[in-house]
Structure 1
């Protein structure tokens, strides 16, 4: 048999070697062009970063208010579901008691020679069969017929409650799915803003966030964390004790961190701060900015008084508490704590007086 020999690899030489080297270099150059810095995005200036961060924060706040609204509805669905479950349990206890009483009747009938069909159905574990078998109740004696009718009614009530609970559970799951989507959107926007800010020097970052990231070209009258920036004294005063109490609460929270979805007492988002301030004054407000604007009497910008709620942007996605002298206290965004700021810092959308 002929031997199987491995072919010998001949070294590249001359023109062949030069061609291979040329192709390798060309491939490396192409890879560099696609993967290297040849197509890198240009470095953003601090001003461009500021504008982009402002936009991301505004988009995140829109998503936050929608998250707050969805959470409020999910919490309501959760409470309704629990109420239905509790009521079902109470009805089940009454049903068990009624069926126990029928069981005693059945035992007595068994000892005397048989169990009435109506009683058998009342003791059945199949509610549908029982509810379809109403004709049997007519064959029972008056006393048994009344007892069977009560059990039948209780079974029907329990089935209706269970049906309502199933609907409420479906609603709750839908709300929870919406919460997850909103949360992902918020996290994505805030992460992108954080990454942009991380590329700046500490001095540039401080300048970009000096106005709370809500209108980089607006006035920066509110300095520091807001604790020492007090509005000048003016003739305006709160229209009532509750509005005054809400303003006082807001002043106490200056410097508190912004946390989306938070309603205090140590952290807030914009509508959470407003809700907490008026809750401390004994007034219950809706959770979201777009619901809060409809919670009181609308007032013109020229008629603002301390305690009025001031709203911003076309989607009414931001809210603050007016404190006089053209200033408000608000929770701006994650890079800036609760602070004083001029109300002309953002596009004004309207105002409401709730007290």
Structure 2
């Protein structure tokens, strides 16, 4: 008869090992799935990161503006120095040619010792007259030689100054390019984070619809504001006329602006020249302190500890400014951001 044996059952120890192995497989599978599809960051988390990146980009933008302004100054200075060197070199050439011609003439005429010439002269009086003329020529040559030496010293100095300016121009150009790259990288990082959000959440972050530094998107009617005086009135009207124009880092108008570029543009229309960066603008005119209640329309309100943002006070506790990438020129409460200093232009 065939035997009918029951299959051997695994021991309790074997069952425990198999159960643990199965649990490990499940855990690893879950971990792998989590790595393959990480949870998207929430709106609040993205906002914190994006705000930080925009802060860094704005600070870098003002460094870029400063480097650009300095580069333009150095380029103009280098052009002027190079023109001076060319003119000095031309004057040197003229002086050298004159001396060379005189020396050649003396060589052709020959030279005789004055005492011997006087002894052999049949007309001493005539000789003395000629000798006086020769002495005058020699004095003229000496003056020409001194002028040539002075001109050479000036030329050497101008060449040294030109070389120094060109070297600084080269360093500044490198700074300009590296800062430009830094701004672009920060903005690209911010955009990657924003792309993970819905259109509504992305728009809310870009337009600052929430947070301590809420920036109103409504336009302000200049007629509702207290009047400004003098050239400040033109500056305020010009800045308010740009409401709705997009922010663009490094831009100074006429239809795109960064924060300091808007101030430069507005005051230029009033015939007043401002430096290009918010840091430099923090030193113009006279100080009004840090309390916006003391501000008058047209005052520059400088923000943040590094002075990397600026707006223009327009009255009623408001400033007009160009906020940041993705936003437009608009009005906000004067104390929405920590005030560093207020300057009256």
Tell me the TM-score range normalised by the shorter chain.
0.7 to 0.9
Does residue 1:280 correspond to 2:269, yes or no? yes
| Structure 2 gap segments, 5+ residues each | 1-26, 112-136
Residue number among 203, 208, 211 corresponding to 1:206 in the alignment: 203
Counterpart among 149, 152, 160 of residue 152 in structure 1: 149
Cα deviation code 1:88-134 (max 9, x no counterpart): 111112112222222322332343359xxxxxxxxxxxxxxxxxxxx
* Post-superposition offset of 1:229: 4.0
**Counterpart in the other structure of 1:24:** none
Shift of 1:336: 0.6
Query: Normalising by structure 1, what TM-score?
Result: 0.75
Quick check: 1:348 aligned with 2:339?
yes
C-alpha displacement of 1:261: 1.5
2:315 aligns with 324
TM (normalized to structure 2)? 0.77
Q: Are the equivalent residues in 1 in contact too, given 2:46–2:193 (CA < 8 A)? A: yes
Match of 1:143 among 119, 132, 140: 140
Matched, 1:237 2:227: yes
Higher share in helix? 2
Q: 2:187 aligns with which of 186, 190, 198?
A: 190
Q: Which has the larger radius of gyration?
A: 2
1:159 Cα deviation from its structure 2 partner: 0.9
SS of residue paired to 2:320: strand
Give the Cα–Cα distance (whole angstroms) in 2 for the partners of residues 67 and 198 of structure 1.
26
3-state DSSP class of the match of 2:335?
helix
Q: Which residue in 2 is equivalent to 1:48?
A: 45
Asked if 2 retains the 8 angstrom alpha-carbon contact of 1:231 and 1:324, the reply is no
Q: 2:249 is matched with which residue: 240, 243, 260?
A: 260
Match for 2:281 among 292, 301, 305? 292
Distance 1:148 1:343, change over 3 A: same
Q: Does 1:307 align with 2:301?
A: no
CA distance in 1, matches of 2:51, 2:246: 18
- Return 5+ residue gaps in structure 1 as ranges: 1-28, 115-139
- Secondary structure at the aligned position of 1:208 is classed as helix
- Separation in 2 of the partners of 1:237 and 1:218? 29
Secondary structure (helix, strand or coil) at the match of 1:38 reads helix
Aligned equivalents of 2:172 and 2:205: distance in 1?
Answer: 36
Partners of 1:204 and 1:233 in 2: CA distance: 32
Does residue 83 (structure 1) correspond to residue 83 (structure 2)? The answer is: no
CA RMSD of aligned residues (A): 2.7
